[in-house]
Amino acid sequence: MRTPLIAGNWKMYKRISEATALARSLVSGLQGVDGREVAVCPPFTALYAVGEALRGSSVQLGAQNLYPEAEGAYTGEISPAMLVDVGCVYVILGHSERRQHLNESDEFINRKVHLALTHGLRPILCVGETLVERERGEEIKVVSTQLRADLRDIDEEQMAKVVIAYEPVWAIGTGHTATPQQAQTMHRNIREMLVHMYGEEVAESIRILYGGSVRSDNIDQLMAQPDIDGALVGGASLEVESFARIVKYHPIL
Ligand code: PEP
């Protein structure tokens, strides 16, 4: 039985005061919600303050990135131990915005996945194809290549701590959500890839989130799909009303 996870990616939005206010509103707006895990991933500058605002609640803290070294002379970077120190449970890795704008390679992302796990953080590993790749019919090949490279030398025990987020690049921040059927098809394919890599039992236990223009008006259909185990939400996680409604989804077929 997979507990759904709804995670908010606040990207490069929210100063400390705004982030704290949003976290406090979420804590009160989500009281009594059960049967699902909730996490928010603010920018680094707001992690401590948001962690304080979430203290005692069931909403968990996540980061949006890390540098794959325990410590050292890496000016401007943040280590996994620092994220644990500030209270992070999750860390988003391999987000397409970083692959695209910061040229992050699968090899580099793989190092991050290893370091995150070594320090007890749970990676939310993002994979997904571009529009051109989908138009060429290459989406399964692209996602499979990313998954195999990003998870290189991750064993079954470590894999139990990893969450996968399927985020088609053409759906991120564009308002063009994948249809529930398109998302389900890819999620099923990802689960089959995981069966090949880790066996049936591990693959069935791994949560695969959908991300890409998830909103309060499409979450119910997405969550009705058997292989969609939650959502990674960008834009709609920046307002309490929309994010709380997404967390309180009611699957509709
Ligand atoms: C994201 O940033 O991971 C994301 C899915 O963004 P949006 O929901 O805005 O498309």
167 is catalytic: yes
Tell whether the torsion through CA atoms of 134, 122, 232 and 69 is positive or negative. Answer: negative
95 is catalytic: yes
Rounded mean pLDDT, 214-238? 97
Question: If you take atom 6 of ligand 1, which residue's CA is the nearest one?
Answer: 234
The per-residue pLDDT for 252 is: 84
Q: What is the pLDDT of residues 157-208, one digit of tens each?
A: 999 999 999 999 999 989 888 999 999 999 999 999 999 999 999 999 999 9
Percentage with pLDDT > 70 across the chain: 100
CA of 212 to the centre of ligand 1 (A): 5
Nearest by Cα to 177 from 112, 231, 99, 118 = 231
Fold of 5-247: TIM Barrel (3.20.20)
Which one of 95, 114, 119, 187 is the catalytic residue?
A: 95
Q: Is the pTM of this model over 0.85?
A: yes
Question: If you take atom 7 of ligand 1, which residue's CA is the nearest one?
Answer: 234
* Contact 235 CB / ligand 1 (< 6 Å): yes
Q: What is the number of other CB atoms lying within 10 angstroms of the CB of residue 179?
A: 12
CA of 249 to the centre of ligand 1 (A): 17
Any idea of the CA torsion for 39, 44, 49, 55, to the nearest 10 degrees? 30
For the chain, the structural domain boundaries read 5-247
Residue 253 has pLDDT above 90, yes or no: no
Q: What is the pLDDT of residues 100-156, one digit of tens each?
A: 999 999 999 999 999 999 999 999 999 999 999 999 999 999 999 999 999 999 999
**Angle, CA 43 vertex, CA 129 and CA 60 arms, to 5°:** 90
The per-residue pLDDT for 131 is: 94
At 166 the three-state DSSP class reads: strand
Mutate-to-test residue for ligand 1 from 5, 127, 163, 232, highest number of ligand atoms within 8 A of CB = 232
* Contact 66 CB / ligand 1 (< 6 Å): no
Q: What is the pLDDT of residues 25-58, one digit of tens each?
A: 999 999 999 999 999 999 999 999 999 999 999 9
Confidence of residue 223 (pLDDT cuts 50, 70, 90): very high
Name the token pair of 146.
């990313």
Nearest by Cα to 161 from 151, 146, 170, 171 = 151
Q: What is the DSSP string of 60-97?
A: EEEES---SSSSSS-TT---HHHHHHTT--EEEES-HH
Region of poorest pLDDT, from 19-23, 129-133, 249-253: 249-253
